[in-house]
Amino acid sequence: MLVMKQKTNFDRYLEKQLKDPDFARRYQKAGEAWDVALQLTALRKKAGLSQKELAQRVGTSQQQISRLESTSYEGHSLSMLRRVAEVLGAKVHIDIQLPESPKQEFRGRSLIN
C-alpha cells in the first residue's frame, strides 16, 4: 500500500519560493556547499581525525578545516580540496552540467553551435 505524505506548510512555502529563479539558484548553491561540508566532515571522522589533526597533516590551520566543513562556506579552492582529499585517501570529483534547457544562453553565447 502506497502512503502519500501530506505536504507541510513549509513544503508549500518552499515550492512557491522555488518558482523564483533567483531563489532557486541560491537554494541550489546552498545545497552544493552543504554537500561538500558533509562529505568532508564524514571523511575526516571516518579517518578518525580531529579538525586539528587533519589541519596538521594538510599543512593548514584548524580554522581553515572548520571553514571547509561549514555548510555556509563557499570559498573552496580546488587545490585545498585536493590536499584534504589526498590526506583522507579520497579524490575530488567535479561534475559540471549543462543547464536543463539546451538552448539556454550562457554569458551571451549559445551552448549549442
Q: What is the pLDDT of residues 25-63, one digit of tens each?
A: 776 776 677 888 989 999 999 999 999 999 999 999 999
Instruction: Please give the pLDDT value at position 113.
Output: 43
Question: What does pTM read for this prediction?
Answer: 0.64
Q: What is the pLDDT of residues 55-99, one digit of tens each?
A: 999 999 999 999 999 988 888 899 999 999 999 999 999 888 787
Residue ranges of domains in the chain: 10-89
Q: Report residue 7's pLDDT band, with 50, 70 and 90 as the boundaries.
A: confident
In DSSP terms, 105 is beta-bridged to 110
The set of cell numbers assigned to 1 is 500500500
| Angle (CA) 50 52 58, round 5° | 105
For the purposes of burial, counting CB atoms within 10 Å of the CB of 76, is it exposed (0-12), middle (13-18) or buried (19 or more)? middle
Q: Which CATH superfamily is domain 10-89 in?
A: lambda repressor-like DNA-binding domains (1.10.260.40)
